Structure 1
Amino acid sequence: MSALLNTHAKKILLVAGILLLGVNITGFFISLKNPDVYIEEKGLFKNDVLLSDEQFFSIVDQGLTNRKTYARKLNEAVNLAIVHYWGDSGTHKYNFRIPFYENFILFSLGYLIPDLFGKWELFDYKKAVERSVGLCSQHAIIISQILKEKNIPAKMVGLEGHVVVTAQVDQKKDEWWILDGDYGVVIEHNIDKIEKQPEIVRPFYQRKGYDSPTIQVLVDIYGKEGNSVSKLNRHYPERYYFETLSYMLKWIIPFGLMAPYVRRREAKAH
Structure 2
Amino acid sequence: MFAAPITEPMQRSRGEASVTLVCGPVGMRLTGLRQQGSAKCILPHGPRGRDGLPEVVFLNTSGGLTGGDMLSYAVQLGPRARAVATTQTAERAYRSSGGAARVRVTMEVGEGGWLEWLPQETILFDDSRLDRRTVLDLAPGAGCLLLESVVLGRAAMGETVTKIALRDWREIRQSGRPVMVEPLVLGDRALQTGAAGLMGARAFASLAMLGQGVADLLDPLRAVLDEPGVTAAASAPDGRLMLRMMAADGWPLRRQIARCLAVLRRGAPLPRVWQM
Query: Whose Rg is larger?
Result: 1
TM-score of Structure 1 vs Structure 2, range by shorter chain:
under 0.3
- The structure in which a higher percent of residues are strand is 2
- The structure in which a higher percent of residues are helix is 1
- Relative contact order, higher structure (CA 8 A, sep 6+): 1
Q: TM-score, normalised by structure 2?
A: 0.27
